[in-house]
Structure 1
Amino acid sequence: MMTDRFFGIAFFLRWQWWYSLGILLLALPAQAADVRVAIKQGVSQIQIGGSKTIIVRDRAGKKLGEIPSGYSHTARKSGGTIALGNVQNSELWLKPTSEGYLWIGNRWYRGDARLFISRNGVSAINHVDIEDYLYSVVGAEMIASWHIEALKAQAVAARSYALHKQAESRNRSYDVDTTTATQVYKGLEGEASSTQRAVRETAGEVMVYEGKIILAVFHSSSGGHTENVEDIWSSPLPYLRGVADYDRDAPVYQWTKSFSRAELSRLVGGVGTIQSMTPARTTPQGRIVTMQVTGDRETRQVSGAQLRSALGLRSRLFTVSATGSGFIIQGRGFGHGVGLSQWGAKALAEQGYNYRQILGHYYQNAALSRIGG
């Protein structure tokens, strides 16, 4: 690992290059003002309410009814329509008056909502301004008390990610959901004054490569070094390259999990009683791509992703050791290990690096730009 002094000089010079490039880039075309977030998908019923009166309309904009402030109704499927109080239609649009908030399921949300039938149940999509959306995402993905420069790096990464997904989702009913499958969103519950500040001070800023918003993925902690994207998921991307991480102080930097032989054999399945587990293929940084699992009935190869899911591991960066009665798994990091490391961003911010420098380190060859001029 390079020394802090060398890192600081090299980092500063690199930042000077990509930041000046960002200044030279023309502003990107304006994106859709709203992001579409899947709050509920195909559920039997959804509780709906508002902090102010909610106007209920159909797809064409015709007013169908109101939900008074402080009241709630249950939206449920009724034949081929949605019933909400005394209103019934194939699709309902909900808009709070006087800048009020929506209660959907069990949380408060900014913006409007669309209810429709899907998966033989009711789905709710929150249509919310991208900047308002980020108030919550930054606080749901990072700890709100972290250094402001780390929060600002998260804001730019999350904005870039959401708009990249939006560009890919034109034929779908939503752009992102509320889980770690995309990025975590908790409505007003995720917001704090610090997350609002981070969003405001980076308003409209995104990471781009060759004029296009990048797939700005992120994770909690890489365990010392991030990965090239093609070693984890897909084909190479010039801005998702493995780099040294600075996450050593993360509580998930190192972790251990123990299993009895019987428990491990049951969870992995298909080979009988497990005798040994040996890496068959790993990434350059040591994450498990495939593991050879040998049991008393047969031997087979299991993907690292399958093992992580089956065993509830924090990452695919782990080793397996046999003990007398079972196995010990020792690992590092939390998440897929591609793109921005949140704990690494925290450490760099605390060392005095700003959000532009942090982003430039984790998204190699990308530049900062602004949407909409």
Structure 2
Amino acid sequence: MNKRKKSILSLFLAALLLVSWLPAPPARATAADPILRIGLYYGSNGLPAANLQNVTGCGSGYRLGYFSGDQFVSLLETSTVEITVVKDKQLYINEKKDYYDVAPASYHTVIRPYHLQTSRTFSSASQAQNFAQSLSSLGAFPAYVNGSYVVRIGQYSSTSEAQAAQRAVSAQAGAVSVCGYSESCYTVTKTGTNTILFELDSGGNYLGIQPMGAAKTQTWFKGFKYCGAFEYKRMQGNDLTVINVVGLTDYVKGVIPYEMSASWPAEALKAQALCTKSYSMNSLGKHSSQGFDLCNSTDCQVYQGTNAANANSDSAVDAVYGQYILYGGQIAQAYYHASSGGSTEDVENIWTSYVPYLRGVEDTYLKNPVNWSAAFTNETVAAILRSKGYSVGNVTNVYVSHTTSHGNVDGLTVEQDSGKDLVFSKSSARSILNSSAYGVSILSHRYTISGGSGSGGGNVGGFTINGQPFSSLSGMYAIGSGGIVGSVSSSSLSAITGSGTVSIPATQKAKANSGTYTVTGTGNGHHIGLSQWGANGMANAGFSYEDIIKFYFTGVQVGPAA
């Protein structure tokens, strides 16, 4: 089944490197369904306010509290189904229930960050809620501050405004003090209003919200439905970082339909689920500096909750519950991409380190190679490189300068009239010329470059023997033990080394007098690990998900983690 074409040299190097290579253990102890933190909005995309709606409805609201590790600590319950978490700052709300830091042209409600706080503390949420209810005419609400329940009253825009109301309020509520803006405070409100339900300002605790209701509740957030709970962090006191706290199985169900069509064959979906799970467990803490494990974009894996999932994709995930891709007893780093275009690649040829199970294979069952093309000029290349920080003069030629034994490009050369060539290798051979601003997109490592009209076009061999450069194989012959064997072609050029015969990929150099180029390629992605369209082809050919995994990942097993 597996038609892998490895040279003797490659096997020799693999054996040497295997001695010193050990797979890294997962970042967190592996349970059957561990808890993950997935960043939904963060950094420059942080939110001043985040709306939630419990899908269950019918008064099934939320538990408000915080997380201690992966355990949720409930401080207070509310039956309100639509709530909004806001940072402790003055915010403006318009008719569409949008929230703004700066007053828009039209708004109807203001949430103000200064309050009065009673001197009494309470041992339970119900006691604080009852006292707040007795002061409802003053706009009182319960809060949890530095480990104690208290009651806060009113909303004011400044300290002076709160102080002006202090005497009148104390006549009803007893001694009160002014509490102002806090970078560690989270305010929970009824959506679209300035009615405050609860505040949390308790040192290092971040606000956690857990939906109540059915055994498996879901929550609407920003047009997507999510399982699990939510956590909010104000990193350095800024806008809200919004995190979905969710079990691995539910997370994978929210990844699968965005990384692979939910209508695809079950065995392909199971293989994808294993890749997603194994990748996730090896990548926990990737975004720890931002307060979560993984993000919801292509930087990690695309995750958008339950919207696009169906029974087919969900059952595929359930079928591999508790299983992972393993190498040497450890969870393997299971990279994947859309389409190899014909062959996956040895990881060290694209990224940096040798990994024994990430070896290139001929994508035998791929039925949809994803054909594509792109066009650019010398001027375009120069402009793209300058935009990426390179000092570039006049570009005179662009060509593929090296391909791997699997036929994928890992070397791209840009010639300049100054004589100083720029050579881009490994992953840069695919990414360096990509630019949405200039309309250039090289989708994979499997491509050729040809020149424009009138340039002569085509590709020619480029190589050196004993320091002598040659641009053509014409008139060259191979010599064997019995004499001349035959003419040499660029499609089957090899050299004999101490380790055996090694193929030598020919340089593809575009003769582009016009300075116009066409890139023609197949495949989509980095070519490492599982080819999704190849997995689709294997599933349609009757292979199981284990067959698929073992085809694309050399020497692995499928089973529970230790």
Structure 1 distance, partners of 2:341, 2:85, is: 45
Question: What is aligned with 1:21?
Answer: none
The letter of the residue matching 1:295 is: Q
TM-score for the superposition, normalised by structure 2 = 0.57
Question: What is aligned with 1:285?
Answer: 406
Contact 1:137 1:190 in 2 (8 A): no
Contact 2:254 2:303 in 1 (8 A): yes
How many residues were matched structurally? 346
Change (3 A) 1:68 1:114: same
Question: Cα deviation per residue 1:207-265 (whole Å; 9 max; x = unaligned)?
Answer: 1111110001111001111111111113211111111114643261x211122443333
Tell me how far 1:371 sits from its aligned partner: 4.3
Contact 2:285 2:292 in 1 (8 A): no
Contact 1:228 1:241 in 2 (8 A): yes
Question: What is aligned with 2:52?
Answer: 49
Tell me how far 1:132 sits from its aligned partner: 1.2
2:381 to 261, 264, 277: 264
The letter of the residue matching 1:36 is: R
2:297 to 148, 157, 179: 179
1:130 to 211, 224, 248: 248
Change (3 A) 1:219 1:275: same
Tell me how far 1:36 sits from its aligned partner: 1.7
Contact 1:49 1:102 in 2 (8 A): yes
1:332 to 522, 533, 537: 522
Structure 2 counterpart SS, 1:159: helix
Structure 2 distance, partners of 1:214, 1:172, is: 25
1:107 to 187, 206, 224: 224
Question: What is aligned with 1:6?
Answer: none
Question: What is aligned with 2:136?
Answer: none
Contact 1:291 1:304 in 2 (8 A): yes
Question: What is aligned with 1:316?
Answer: 445
Contact 1:101 1:108 in 2 (8 A): yes
Contact 2:286 2:294 in 1 (8 A): no
Structure 2 counterpart SS, 1:115: strand
For structure 2, list consecutive stretches of 5 or more residues without a partner in the other structure. Answer: 4-28, 90-181, 190-195, 453-513
TM-score for the superposition, normalised by structure 1 = 0.83
Tell me whether 1:194 sits opposite 2:312 in the alignment. yes
Question: Higher relative CO (CA 8 A, sep ≥ 6), structure 1 or 2?
Answer: 1
RMSD: 2.7
Structure 2 distance, partners of 1:59, 1:29, is: 19
Question: What is aligned with 2:12?
Answer: none
Structure 1 counterpart SS, 2:283: helix
Tell me whether 1:237 sits opposite 2:341 in the alignment. no
Structure 2 distance, partners of 1:118, 1:281, is: 45
Tell me whether 1:300 sits opposite 2:411 in the alignment. no
Question: Cα deviation per residue 1:322-361 (whole Å; 9 max; x = unaligned)?
Answer: 2146211111211110111100000011011111111110
Structure 1 distance, partners of 2:242, 2:30, is: 29
Question: What is aligned with 1:20?
Answer: none
Change (3 A) 1:309 1:325: closer
Q: When you count helix as a share of all residues, which structure comes out higher?
A: 1
Structure having the higher Rg: 2
Tell me how far 1:301 sits from its aligned partner: 2.6
Question: What is aligned with 1:162?
Answer: 280
Structure 2 distance, partners of 1:367, 1:2, is: 16
Question: What is aligned with 1:10?
Answer: none
For structure 1, list consecutive stretches of 5 or more residues without a partner in the other structure. Answer: 4-27
Q: Which moved more, 1:176-185 or 1:263-272?
A: 263-272
